[in-house]
Each structure stands twice: as C-alpha cells, then as structure tokens.
Amino acid sequence: MSTFRTQDGTQIYYKDWGKGKPVLFSHGWPLDADMWDSQMNFLAERGYRVIAFDRRGFGRSDQPWEGYNYDTFASDINDLIEHLDLHDITLVGFSMGGGDVTRYIGRYGTERVSALALLGAVTPIFIKTDDHPEGVDKSVFDDIKAGLRKDRAQFISDFATPFYGLNKGMTVSEGVKTQTLNIALLASLKGTIDCVTAFSETDFRPDVKKIDVPTLVIHGSSDQVVPFEATGKLAAETITGAQLKIYDGAPHGFAVTHQQQLNEDLLAFLQAR
C-alpha cells in the first residue's frame, strides 16, 4: 500500500496509476480516493499518470484528532507532490476537494501546476455572508453536523438522495449507494464533522484570484448540495479564461451519474494542454 508522511507525521494513503503527464485528484466529502476510480482508470488507459489520495481522516489515511482545515490540506497536497516530485500537474478537485487544490495554488503557486479542474467545487465561498448573499445559510451546515453526531450511518444513507439527485429523476445502482455509505463510514467521525465547518466557512476568494493556469469548471445545473449559482458560476466568472461546462440536470454526484461525459471532458481538457 502506497503511503507517505506529512510534515506533522500523519500517514496518507495514495494511488499512483499509469505513466505520462500527471493528474492529481482531490476527493469530495465524505468520500475517499475510490470515488475517482472510473476517471483514473479511463485516463491511465489513455496515457496519463493519475494520482489520488485519501484526505487525512478519511479512507485508509491516518485519523488525527486535529488538522481538518484547508491550510493543512494544502500542505498535505504539497507534501505528496514533493514526495513524488511531480511537475506539469493537472489538479482536479471535486466539491470540498476543489477547496484543497485552490488553497494549494493560493499558498504554493503554480510552478508545478499546468492546469486546474474544479468539479462541483465549494469555491470561491460556500456559506452565506453579507457580501455573498447567494450562499447557503449556516443553519444548513449546523443541521448536517447535528445529523452526523446523532446517527452518522443513517444521515449518510439519506444524504445519497440529494447527492445523486435520486429525488430529481437520477438513478444509481444499489452497489453505488452501498459503496458510498461504506466509504463514508471508514472516515473519522471527528474529521467528518470538522470538514463540514472547513468546507462551509472557508473563504477561497483570495486563493481563486491567484489561479493563473487554464481552468475547467464543471457543475451540475441541479446540484442540491453545492448550488451552482453560489459557487461554480462565480468561480468561472472570477478565473481569467476559465472554461465552464454545465451538465444539464446533473446532481452533485455527477462523477457517477454522468461518468462517461466527465471522463471524455477531462480527457479533452488534458489533450488541449
């Protein structure tokens, strides 16, 4: 099993498949690197080196009590990039993982980065504030944390409905729903709760302004978890030259419901570099 240790001694698990230009994936909440298996296999078969890691507290990585904030997540990514000595990387971040890769650029720049893809990402800012009135109200995130504390297994099981748009005409297999729950329950409860605070309250607007590489923004028009108008729309408008793709009717979990479309779009974006 491939692992490395971060600056604070946390052991992080990662996958490293294929050969070619590197593509580094950062997963969403409350998942792990396995969410990317389809995209990774597809791109590795087409000549790319694909790397995905389990965020600290999730999957097969260590479960420290602290460190669930975006400065630490960005530092972990930097440690992985240096561990593998990666250059000319395309960073791909889904949901809260979009925050990881954006904060990485904000802190460490783009010397090693050639392109960026933000998929259903929480950037530039998720929560409702005085200067971001289209954001999601804090009470929503408070309710999520309360649900996790009360009965995490049932909360995550129910969360699959809006995540995959099952109440909006989308369908996924029973296997996908089972896998989603199993992955989520591998994670640290503390990390799962703390990450809700991190992805909801972190302001990435200063980081987004530092993005100076070709960027692809993909968002579902029917995203009930990370609403497009509050996040992806603003990211695409803020990042110079960003390419925006809106998946009509797609939910938050479009990496599953629109798997082939996403695979082809990522490949086309990579081939254009």
149-186 pLDDT, tens digit per residue, is: 999 999 999 999 999 999 999 999 999 999 999 999 99
Given a contact cutoff of 8 angstroms between Cβ atoms, the answer to whether 76 and 10 are in contact is yes
Task: Give the pLDDT mean for 38-49.
Answer: 98
Residue 273 confidence (pLDDT) above 90? no
Q: Tell me: the pLDDT tens digits for 12-34?
A: 999 999 999 999 999 999 999 99
Q: What is the pLDDT of residues 95-134, one digit of tens each?
A: 999 999 999 999 999 999 999 999 999 999 999 999 999 9
Name the CATH superfamily, with its identifier, for domain 3-271.
Answer: Alpha/Beta hydrolase fold, catalytic domain (3.40.50.1820)
Q: Is the pLDDT of residue 208 over 90?
A: yes
The predicted pLDDT at position 157 comes to: 98
Active centre residues (catalytic): 95, 223, 252
Residue 151: Cβ within 10 Å count: 11
Distances (CA, A) of 105 to 33, 43, 47: 20, 23, 25
Beta strands in the chain (DSSP E): 3-5, 11-17, 21-26, 48-53, 89-94, 113-119, 215-220, 243-247
Radius of gyration for the alpha carbons in the chain, expressed in angstroms and rounded: 17
pLDDT band at 74 (very low <50, low <70, confident <90, very high): very high
Q: What is the pLDDT of residues 150-160, one digit of tens each?
A: 999 999 999 99
pLDDT bin (cut points 50, 70, 90) of residue 1 is: confident
For position 205, what pLDDT does the model report? 98
Q: What gap in Å lies between CA 198 and CA 20, rounded to an integer? A: 33
pLDDT band at 5 (very low <50, low <70, confident <90, very high): very high
| Nearest-10 crossing angle of helices 96-108, 189-201 | 70
pLDDT computed for residue 105 by the predictor = 98
**What predicted TM-score, i.e. pTM, was given to this entire model?**
0.98
pLDDT mean across residues, the chain: 98
Within 10 angstroms of residue 174's Cβ, the number of other Cβ atoms is 7
pLDDT at 32: 98
Q: What Å distances lie between residue 166 and 28, 94, 123, 174, 221, CA to CA?
A: 19, 20, 25, 12, 15
The whole-number pLDDT of residue 48 equals 98
**pLDDT attached to residue 214:** 98
